[in-house]
Amino acid sequence: MLTIKQQLIPVNRFSRPGKKLVAKRGIVMHYTADPGASAQAIGNYFISLKNQKSGDSTTNRYASAHIQIDRTTIVQSLPFDEMGYHCGSKQPYLTEALAKLGSYPNNSTVGIEMCIETDGAIHEDTFNNAVDLVVYLIQHEGFPEVIFTHKGVVGWKDCPLPWVKNPSEFERFKQRVHSRLETRDSLGPDNLQDSITFEEEEHLNLSVNQWTILINQLKELYNKKLITDYTWIDKAVAKKLTASELLFINTVIINRGIK
C-alpha cells in the first residue's frame, strides 16, 4: 500500500491559482531535472514560489505540479481538481495535445513530477510508484487513460529527459498502467483493493512553552527579514506548523544568512 502525503501549496498567484479544472482530460508526466532531489524537496520548492514579489528586479516564475514521486514517497501539492502551472508554453501546443487536452492543457490535466537519481535515471521504484498513482487517478479521480509526456504536449521541452532519450520506457509505462487497469477491471468492483491511502502531515507536538519560544523566534527572524512570509508565524500561533515546514524555514534562514 502506497501513501500519498498531502502538503498542499497555499493559494497564491505563482504556484496555486486556486482555479478548478474545466475538465479532466489527461495526465502529463514530467521529471524534476534535479538529480538526487526528493519528492519532499520539490514540493517545498513549489511552496516557496509564493514568496516571490511582483515588481522587483527578479523574474518571477510560475510553476507547480499536482504530485511529486520518488522511490519511497508521493507528495501531493495541489488538489486533483485544481489547475497547476506544469505545462504552459509560449509556443503553440502540439496538434495531438490540442485535440485531446483542449486549447490550454494546464486547465484540463494533472501534472506528475518523477524524481531522478544522482545519475539522472528514473529508478524502477519511482517508475512503479508513478504507475500506481496514475492507475489511482484513472480509477478514482475521473481522469481518462490519456497519458502524455511534457514533450508530447509542448514539443520543445525534453521532459522527462530519460524517456525522451529512450521512448520505449514511456511505452512500457503506458503498457504497465493499461495492464494494471485491465487486471483490476477483471476482478470486479467488490474485489478491488485500493493501493493508495492519504496522509496529512502531523503538526509539531510541542508544549505550550515550546510553542511560545518558537513563535517568538519566528517573529524575531521576520523582523530581521530572514523570513518574509508571516504565514509561518500564523501557523505557529495556531499550532499547525509541521516538521517539514519548520525544516524548510530553517533551510531558507541558512541560505539567506549565508548571503
Mean predicted confidence (pLDDT) in 177-187: 81
Query: Does residue 50 have a pLDDT over 60?
Result: yes
How long, in residues, is the chain? 259
Residue pair 71/125 in contact (Cβ under 8 Å)? The answer is yes
C-alpha cell at 218: 519566528
Residue pair 78/66 in contact (Cβ under 8 Å)? The answer is yes
Confidence band for 4, pLDDT divided at 50, 70 and 90: very high
Least confident of 10-14, 162-166, 196-200, 240-244: 196-200
Query: Does residue 80 have a pLDDT over 70?
Result: yes
Between 192 and 241, name the one with better pLDDT: 241
The CA distance from 92 to 154, in Å, is: 7
C-alpha cell at 122: 528514473
Could you report the per-residue pLDDT of 125-167, keeping only the tens digit for each? 999 999 999 999 999 999 999 999 999 999 999 999 999 999 9
What pLDDT sits at residue 192?
42
Quickly count helices (H) and strands (E) in the chain. Answer: 9, 7
Residue pair 32/113 in contact (Cβ under 8 Å)? The answer is yes
The CA distance from 259 to 257, in Å, is: 5
The CA distance from 251 to 127, in Å, is: 29
The CA distance from 9 to 26, in Å, is: 22
What is the enclosing helix (H) or strand (E) of 205?
none
Between the alpha carbon of residue 13 and those of residues 17, 30, 35, the distances in Å are 5, 22, 27
Q: List b or e across 92-108, with b for residues whose CB sees 16 or more CB atoms inside 10 angstroms.
A: ebbeebeebbbeebbbb
pTM of the model: 0.77
Mean predicted confidence (pLDDT) in 205-230: 86
Mean predicted confidence (pLDDT) in 91-119: 98
- Nearest C-alpha neighbor of 142 from the set 112, 165, 110, 168: 110
**DSSP sequence for 83-115:** --SSS--SSPPPHHHHHHH-S-GGGTEEEEEEP
Cell numbers 485535440: residue: 99
